[in-house]
Amino acid sequence: MNNRFFAIGDIHGCFDSFKDLIENEIKLQKNDTLVLLGDYIDRGLKSKEVIDYIINLQEQSYTVFPLIGNHEVMMLDSLKNEKTKELWIQNGGKETLKSFNINSISELSNKYLDFFENLPYYYMHENYLFVHAGFNDNIINPFEDKYSMVWHSRQSYLNPLFAKKIIIHGHRPVTTNFCNQQLKERKQVINIDTGCVYNDKKGYGKLTAIEIYSGIIVSK
């Protein structure tokens, strides 16, 4: 198949790894599709550069579908709720504000607010489902529970809507070895968040992309 289909896990401000992965490792082409699984901001030092790069890819007519993650949700919620603001700041929001050179999220320009506010919660392609975290397996329509999609991960699902579906997600960091093992064992649920921002922890510190048709995983 000529048209490749990639997904990339949590970036968390690791712009250099993200750019290197796109340009030098997978060498993204305009006939490829790329789904990004959320958590572009916080913790790492270059959140703004990550967002600018995603927007630039879209403006250059690359087929890129960025999803929302819990860190984007926390950031947006912090605009309305002081308690959420404190939680966000403690979980990497401080680095994001510094990256955007602002003191408060209320100073963020409309260009970026529009980007964050329009991020979808999941993406479906053939028998694949892409989501930041996971789904509520205990309700009739799991696509109605947005909270679970950014906060709750599962290793398996019983809901009939997920029968014969492969779910690719991030949110909970796993080692690169674990990530590869899931694919080898043909798991129904594949976690590709390999903790890019945690480069001080053994087995983590990589940004990972999966190409769904070939099953190839690339980590940088």
Q: What is the pLDDT of residues 81-102, one digit of tens each?
A: 888 898 999 999 999 999 999 9
Provide the domain count of the chain.
Answer: 1
- Read off the pLDDT band of 115 (50, 70, 90): very high
Residue 173 belongs to a domain with what CATH number?
A: 3.60.21.10
The percentage of residues in the chain with a pLDDT greater than 70, rounded to a whole number, is 99
> What's residue 82's pLDDT?
80
For 102-108, what is the mean pLDDT? 94
The pLDDT score that the predictor gives to residue 2 is 67
Residue 125 CA neighbour count, 13 Å, CB half: 15
* DSSP 8-state code for residue 113: H
Determine whether 218 is exposed, middle or buried from the number of CB atoms within 10 Å of its CB (0-12, 13-18, 19+): middle
Parent domain of 158: 5-219
What is the structure's pLDDT at 141? 97
pLDDT digits (tens, 9 = 90+) for 190-220: 999 999 999 889 999 999 999 999 999 999 9
Query: What does the pLDDT average to over 21-48?
Result: 97
